[in-house]
Amino acid sequence: MQIDTHSQLLQMVLMIICVCNRINCRSVREAVDAGARSPKAVQAHHGCKFNCGKCSQSIGEMISEQMDRCVPSLPILAAE
Ligand code: FES
């Protein structure tokens, strides 16, 4: 991948969630789409294990956000 501008470099750097294992936002979403429901499962999806563990909370928040987006709206039932 060639980086042409400073903003492209900055965007790439900002996307990294796990520095130890080079897991970025897209990789986290990909793992959640494949069924990962915990930070440990996200790491396992990519064949990694936690090293320092500093990314655990951020990965957990990303999982929650993505799951919230996937919850279908419930039908409204009229009460009698
Ligand atoms: S930042 Fe993810 S294990 Fe260290």
Q: Is residue 21 part of a domain?
A: yes
Q: Ligand 1: which residues within 6 Å by Cβ? A: 18-21, 50-55
Res. 6: pLDDT tops 90: no
Distance 19 CA to ligand 1 centre (A): 5
Structural domain containing residue 23: 11-63
Q: Is residue 42 part of a domain?
A: yes
Q: Is residue 78 part of a domain?
A: no
SS3 state of residue 23: strand
Res. 77: pLDDT tops 80: no
Q: Is residue 75 part of a domain?
A: no
pLDDT cut 70: percent of the chain above it:
80
Q: Based on the structure, what is the number of domains in the chain?
A: 1
Q: Is residue 72 part of a domain?
A: no
Are the C-beta atoms of 17 and 23 separated by less than 8 Å? yes
Query: Using a CB cutoff of 8 Å and minimum separation of 24, what contacts does 1-7 make?
Result: none
Average model confidence (pLDDT) across the chain: 86
Q: Is residue 3 part of a domain?
A: no
Distance 65 CA to ligand 1 centre (A): 20
Report the relative pairing of strands 23-24 and 16-18 from DSSP bridges: antiparallel
Q: Convert the pLDDT of each residue in 40-74 to its tens digit.
A: 999 999 999 999 999 999 999 999 999 998 776 66
pLDDT at residue 21, rounded to an integer: 96
- pLDDT-derived band at 76, boundaries 50, 70, 90: confident
| CATH code for the domain in which residue 15 is found | 1.10.10
